[in-house]
Structure 1
Amino acid sequence: MRLTFLWFRRLMFALLALCCVPAPCSMPESSAVSANSAPASREIIAYIFPQDRILEPNEINARRLTRINYAFANIKNGEIIEGFPHDAENFAVLNVLKRTNPALKLLVSVGGWTWSGGFSDAALTPRSRARFIASAVSFIERYKLDGLDVDWEYPDQPGNGNTFRPEDKQNYTLLLAELRQRFDREQTRLHRRLYISIATGASSKFLQHTEMDKVQRYVDTVNLMTYDFYVGGPSTGHDAPLFRNPADPKHVSVDRSVTEYMQAGVPERKIVLGVPFYGRSWGEVPNKNHGLFQPGKAARGVHFSYPDLPNLLATGFVRYWDAEASAPYLYNPQSHIFVTYEDPQSLAAKCSYVTQHKLGGIMFWEYSNDSTGILLKAVHAGLTPVATASSKGN
């Protein structure tokens, strides 16, 4: 059966409560960010995407975050501009959170899937790069931010029908190198550190179209989008499997992506593992292998928060745990609906992986999908296992 929008919305609400060019220019050594300059504690980075609404002051649990990436700023005529009408109000709300957590860093994320169309032009020449970077500095000063997250989806690839060029591969490096050089000067003037992060694709293709061994020198973290491995398509599968299930026809996993990034020259401590705070579903899935890796009609995922709606287990859904992939999933043999999602158990496994492999931390898309705080609590507990008495109740 095909899911109606309302049924899919209810399904997603409930499932998340189930579980308890030229070669790069030569840069001075001070412009590069060394692997050793990573923070002592691991990052917990929240992407926040309010769009057209104003954030509530108590909406964000700042104590459980190290960094907020506000999504998204847009690019117009080669310059960074506000993306939504209430961005100014929202930056003001987020800056107040630093009273609760003075170590919290606030960055703006520019681009994303929808607004990456201006990157290729902005990065094309020294003049266009300087214009883009100058606008970034102005934006950061205007809203009292701590840096910029560059979410170019994707260099030398069309993405969402974007302008792209073969030169993007080198220009991506140049843009970030020159941005780091300018930030080094500005942070001396502003008397505070200015951070640069990038959101990157988890595929081998992304690595083929970039110079990550060079790029990593100029950024503080590489926010690796290790999710959306199964988006649409004729077959069910895990959205963000930690390890590869041998039966997976796509052979995808978080572990494979991390390994490829390290082989491409990105230090472990700069890799921040991306996790999804949402789920996806397929209909018309045959009752075989509990619906996993079976044909079906995919309902394209929309991200939802999770209120208290009826537990799907009471309506015929069964939760399964794929021990090979370290990933949960749901299947209803009566309605033939399959659901892939993230839960506290899978997040605990990913936090353990981050610790064991000495990665930089966890980032997630996106905060409003976790209105109950269940998933954020799991990430915080997984990366800070020894909590102080004062933080246990936060």
Structure 2
Amino acid sequence: MKFSVFSISFFLVMLLITHALLVGQECPQPVPSQFRHVKSGKVVAAYFASWGVGKYGYTVSDIEPIANKLTHIIYAFAKPDAQTGACLLRDPQADLGENFKDRERVGGLFGQLLNLKCKYPHLKVLLSVGGGTYNKNFLEIAKTGKISTFVKSAVALLDGYEYQYSIDEATCKDCLDYPGLFDGIDLDWEWDGVNPSHEQVMHFHSMLSMFSAELKKRAKHQEKKSWLTCAISVNSKLIKALKLDSVAKFVDWFHVMAYDFGGSSAAGISFNAPICNQWSNYSIDQSISLLMNLGVSPEKLVLGIPLYGQVYDQTKAKLGSAFERTEKTGAFRYNKIKELYVENPACKKTWHEKSQAMYAYCPVDEVFVSYDDERSVAAKVAYAKQKLLKGIFFWQLAGDDEDHSLIKAVNI
């Protein structure tokens, strides 16, 4: 097939225009005009992972030095049970204390959080239900018509844990109450790469609607607010499919999980959570701007900041370079990255101005590390203010260093 000089020239021009549109787009993009009246918020939330106690040695008492920095603690996770449709505690012994069935007062992590709230009464604590491993459970609950069961049991779990025990071959029920601990629910249905059908999206909408209604009943009964938040992915196809503008009225805000733009499953090295990205459409600003352009107000958006980074082994310092999947490759907590790479004089630390992202490269070991430090956290807080967002949140508390350097970098 022959091409004329004109057709080749036209093709090259269109290619250049496409490239310019992709990499030359203004970043940050302006806030849509209909939302410019919104005032930025002051939410500073952080997830507390219950398994972090045993795995990382991070306890509730470790929160105290930065308790005045936080407005909300999100306790992760309670789990959706696919068979019964109920919302259950993942580890009742850890949550409530050992031998909780013999207790008159709650112990464990729940008891420690109650004590923390007594010392810092401004703190609100939400119970997060779900997490990245329970997408199939959510789908099964929705498919089998058990959404109402799930929602009601989750809201009941905010105030007490009902359990069974046996006496003389008879099954009895009792409840260990913990009034004043939880101030609401965080729904964390992450979809796990699923492209939801219209029916599944409607189930998701129904779940949020039911949560809103049940929490309003609780708020009326207790004469204080019950919060409802929802964690959302930054996958653009999923954002569009979920039609979040239709359910924004049910939630106080969405936790935008604005990280994992790179990782060990990628074809080449990239930044974990860049504000801007001149190489592709995957960035914090692209995700936040998409949500707003789809009709979600910035007052419903809380920006996620990861307390972990991505490490790539046997690679070059150039973005997009190939790497090897070794034991060094993968997601690591910031405190580990700081120990191995940030404080390592053999590794060069660099601020990438266009992406507003920090990285390190260790030429001897050929290791590239994308991570957040005090500078990038401050940049993301400034970005959240500029975009008029409700605030920021951290995933998850056990990732910061011993001095809580990243959380202390927040000035909102």
Quick check: which one's helix share is greater?
2
After superposition, the C-alpha distances for 1:228-275 in whole angstroms (9 at most, x for unaligned) are 00021220110000112x2x2x43110110000111221101100001
SS across alignment from 2:269: coil
1:73-88 → structure 2 map (5 Å cutoff)? 73-76=78-81, 77-84=84-91, 85-88=93-96
Query: What is the aligned-residue RMSD (CA, Å)?
Result: 2.4
Tell me which residue corresponds to 1:22: none
Aligned to 1:358: 388
The correspondence for 2:230, drawn from 165, 176, 198, is: 198
Deviations along 1:108-143, one digit per CA (max 9) or x if unpaired, are 111111123211232346x51211111012101114
Match of 1:235 among 268, 281, 302: 268
Q: Deviations over 1:21-75 (max 9, x none)?
A: xxxxxxxxxxxxxx9xx99851111011131737645211321111011111111
**Quick one: distance in 2 between partners of 1:59 and 1:39?**
32
Aligned-pair identity (%): 28
In the superposition, the TM-score normalised over structure 1's length comes to 0.79
The verdict on how the C-alpha distance between 1:264 and 1:270 changes in structure 2, with shifts beyond 3 A counting, is same
Kindly provide the CA deviation profile for residues 186-238 of structure 1, in whole angstroms up to 9, marking residues without a partner as x: 21112221111111001211113212011111000100000000021220110
User: Could you say which residue in structure 1 is the equivalent of 2:205?
Assistant: 173
Deviation, 1:313, is 5.3
Q: Which residue of 2 aligns with 1:319?
A: 349
Match of 2:128 among 105, 109, 112: 109
1:268 paired with 2:298, answer: yes
| Alpha-carbon distance in structure 1 between the residues aligned to 2:48 and 2:335 | 13
Among 58, 63, 71, the alignment partner of 1:66 is 71
Q: Which amino acid aligns with 2:276?
A: F
Q: Secondary structure at the match of 1:349?
A: helix
Q: For residue 154 of structure 2, give the secondary structure of its aligned residue in structure 1.
A: helix
In the other structure, the counterpart of 1:10 is: none
Per-residue Cα deviation, 1:258-299 (whole angstroms, up to 9, x for no partner): 00011122110110000110111111113xxx3333211241
* Secondary structure of the structure 2 residue equivalent to 1:208: helix
Residue aligned with 2:146, SS = helix
List alignment gaps of at least 5 residues for structure 2: 1-34, 97-107, 161-177
* Structure 2 letter corresponding to 1:374: S
Mark the CA change 1:94 to 1:129 in structure 2 (over 3 Å): closer, same or farther. same
One of 191, 194, 212 as aligned partner of 1:158: 194
| Cα distance in 2 between the residues matched to 1:331 and 1:209 | 38
Partner secondary structure for residue 296 of structure 1: coil
> How many angstroms apart in 2 are the aligned matches of 1:134 and 1:274?
28
Which stretches of structure 1, 4 residues or longer, exceed 6 Å deviation after superposition? none
Instruction: Please give the per-residue CA displacement for 1:327-366, whole angstroms capped at 9, x wherever unaligned.
Output: 0100112221100000111111111111111101111110
The 1:258/1:63 distance shift into structure 2, 3 A limit, reads same
CA 1:264–1:347 in 2, change beyond 3 Å: closer, same or farther? same
Q: How does 1:115-264 map to 2 (within 5 A)?
A: 115-124=134-143, 128-142=146-160, 143=178, 144-154=181-191, 157-158=193-194, 166-232=198-264, 233-244=266-277, 246=278, 248=279, 250-264=280-294
How far apart, CA to CA, are the structure 2 residues paired with 1:43 and 1:224? Answer: 13
AA at the equivalent of 1:238: F
1:71 is paired with a residue of what secondary structure? strand
The higher radius of gyration belongs to 2
In structure 2, how many angstroms separate the alpha carbons of the residues matched to 1:65 and 1:186? 24
- Looking at structure 2, the residues matched to 274 and 214 of structure 1 have their Cα atoms a distance apart, in angstroms, of 22
Q: What is the CA-CA distance between 1:102 and the residue it aligns to?
A: 1.4
Q: Can you give the 5+ residue segments of structure 1 that lack an aligned partner in the other structure?
A: 1-34, 384-394
Aligned to 1:8: none
In structure 2, distance between residues paired with 1:152 and 1:39: 28
Letter paired with 2:282? V
Displacement of 1:92 in angstroms is 1.6
SS in structure 1 of the partner of residue 232 of structure 2: strand
Name the stretch that deviates more: 98-107 or 65-74.
98-107
Letter in 2 for 1:47: Y
Q: 2:50 matched to which residue of 1?
A: 50
Deviation of the 1:308 alpha carbon: 8.1
Cα distance between partner residues in 2 of 1:253 and 1:307: 22
- Greater shift in the superposed pair: 139-148 or 308-317: 308-317
Distance 2:206 2:128 in 1: 19
The answer to whether the 8 A contact 2:231-2:255 is kept is yes
Counterparts of 1:309 and 1:135, CA distance in 2: 43
Equivalents in 2 of 1:124, 1:174: separation in Å? 12
